[in-house]
């Protein structure tokens, strides 16, 4: 049994990662201050003997006395609504939180895996995006608080690897979806599903021609696990390389739900990426990984979750 510490363990991806390691018989220490994490994501683990919740702000400290084998640093607001509501906290967790998590890993002589993002590529001028592309980011735009927080976190992670010999790993996560996402958090899939289930208009920004590549959370978690078992310090893209337009996605969700919701077009947000598609050659070569869950299956699983959520809430809307 290994001791796994996950910052942001009550978040969308962090909670799925928590479930995976518990299923393998490991002990999981979940660190979360619930700024954007959801207590419901880990409510089913209250009686789990190998699960421990530490309600701490990683930007201030990480305190745990026992040995730890690996630190997964997943704490951060990640959706457009979240990081626009919490811009300073987003920058702090990318800088101070990453520093604290790396210092903690160094003190425990544990390995460290950083959850980075495709947003480090910004509005890319290279397509698809490979790990050696440096990106096209506006550091002072509204998205800069998230983009630059993650770019700084990557630099800090590699500094600890080079200066202190910490076994570090960086995963660049592309658009991921699935159960436990928050409704209307500014990301396309939950926003479109929520609107269709509420009977509201489905908002597509611009003309809907911007592209995204959507990876189901189970595929992503499998890739992260495989990466955690390797000694490889360069960043690895994890995502689904099957590209589609945002308008195509909206129409697909409408079709699955047989929804009468009208697709409405609004002005494209500042610095919204025009394309997004991962080159996963490195993931295939180093991890032997590629996604295998098709969009239809993943969307149906996600829609089922949002239907249950709607029964509980009545109306799907943005929540803290």
Q: Pick the catalytic residue: 146, 177, 225, 305?
A: 146
Residues 298 and 224 in one domain: no
Separation CA 60–CA 202 (nearest Å): 39
User: Is position 143 within any domain?
Assistant: yes
Separation CA 145–CA 92 (nearest Å): 10
Residues 87 and 161 in one domain: yes
Query: Which domain does 297 fall in, by range?
Result: 177-212+242-276+293-313
70-73: strand order across its sheet: 51-54, 27-31, 3-7, 70-73, 111-117, 168-173, 236-238
Residues 84 and 233 in one domain: yes
Residues 145 and 259 in one domain: no
CATH of residue 198's domain is 3.90.25.10
Residues 154 and 272 in one domain: no
- Encode burial over 291-319: b for 16+ CB neighbours within 10 A, e otherwise: bebebeebbebbbebbeebbeeeeebebe
Separation CA 91–CA 81 (nearest Å): 15
Q: According to the model, what pLDDT value does residue 320 have?
A: 52
Active site residue 177: no
User: In 3-state terms, what secondary structure has residue 51?
Assistant: strand
Report the domain count for the chain: 2
Residues 271 and 231 in one domain: no
Do 23 and 15 touch, CB atoms closer than 8 A? Answer: no
CB-hemisphere CA count at 13 Å for 149?
28
Residues 153 and 21 in one domain: yes
Question: Tens of pLDDT along the chain (320 residues)?
Answer: 999 999 999 999 999 999 999 999 999 999 999 999 999 999 999 999 999 999 999 999 999 999 999 999 999 999 999 999 999 999 999 999 999 999 999 999 999 999 999 999 999 999 999 999 999 999 999 999 999 999 999 999 999 999 999 999 999 999 999 999 998 788 999 999 999 999 999 999 999 999 999 999 999 999 999 999 999 999 999 999 999 999 999 999 999 999 999 999 999 888 888 999 999 999 999 999 999 999 999 999 999 999 999 888 877 765 55
Q: According to the model, what pLDDT value does residue 196 have?
A: 94
Q: According to the model, what pLDDT value does residue 79 have?
A: 92
Q: Which two tokens stand for residue 296?
A: 């239809």
Question: Whose structure tokens read 């000694």?
Answer: 231
User: In 3-state terms, what secondary structure has residue 78?
Assistant: coil
Q: According to the model, what pLDDT value does residue 270 have?
A: 86
Q: According to the model, what pLDDT value does residue 318 have?
A: 56
Q: What Rg value do the Cα atoms of the chain yield, rounded?
A: 19
Q: According to the model, what pLDDT value does residue 48 have?
A: 97
Separation CA 147–CA 298 (nearest Å): 27
């Amino acid at each position: 049994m290994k001791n796994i510490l996950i910052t942001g363990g009550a978040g969308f991806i962090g909670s799925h990662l928590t479930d995976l390691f518990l299923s393998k018989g490991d002990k999981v220490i979940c660190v979360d201050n619930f700024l954007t994490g959801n207590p419901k994501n880990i409510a089913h683990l209250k009686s789990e003997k190998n699960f421990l919740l530490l309600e701490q702000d990683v930007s201030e400290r990480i305190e745990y006395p026992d040995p730890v084998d690996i630190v997964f640093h997943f704490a951060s607001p990640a959706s457009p609504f979240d990081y626009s509501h919490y811009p300073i906290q987003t920058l702090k967790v990318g800088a101070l939180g990453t520093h604290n998590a790396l210092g903690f890993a160094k003190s425990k002589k544990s390995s460290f895996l950083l959850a980075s993002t495709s947003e480090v590529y910004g509005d890319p001028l290279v397509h698809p995006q490979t790990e050696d592309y440096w990106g096209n980011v506006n550091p002072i735009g509204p998205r800069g608080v998230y983009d630059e927080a993650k770019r700084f976190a990557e630099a800090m992670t590699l500094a600890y690897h080079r200066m202190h010999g910490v076994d570090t790993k960086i995963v660049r996560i592309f658009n991921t979806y699935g159960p436990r996402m928050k409704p209307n958090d500014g990301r396309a899939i939950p926003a479109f599903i929520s609107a269709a289930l509420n009977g509201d208009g489905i908002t597509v920004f611009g003309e809907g021609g911007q592209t995204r590549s959507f990876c189901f959370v189970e595929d992503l978690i499998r890739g992260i696990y495989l990466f955690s078992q390797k000694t490889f310090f360069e960043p690895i893209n994890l995502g689904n390389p099957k590209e589609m337009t945002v308008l195509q996605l909206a129409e697909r969700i409408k079709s699955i739900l047989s929804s009468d919701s009208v697709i409405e077009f609004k002005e494209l947000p500042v610095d919204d990426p025009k394309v997004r598609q991962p080159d996963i050659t490195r993931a295939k070569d180093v991890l032997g990984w590629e996604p295998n869950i098709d969009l239809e299956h993943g969307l149906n699983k996600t829609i089922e979750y949002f239907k249950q959520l709607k029964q509980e809430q009545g109306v799907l809307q943005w929540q803290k």
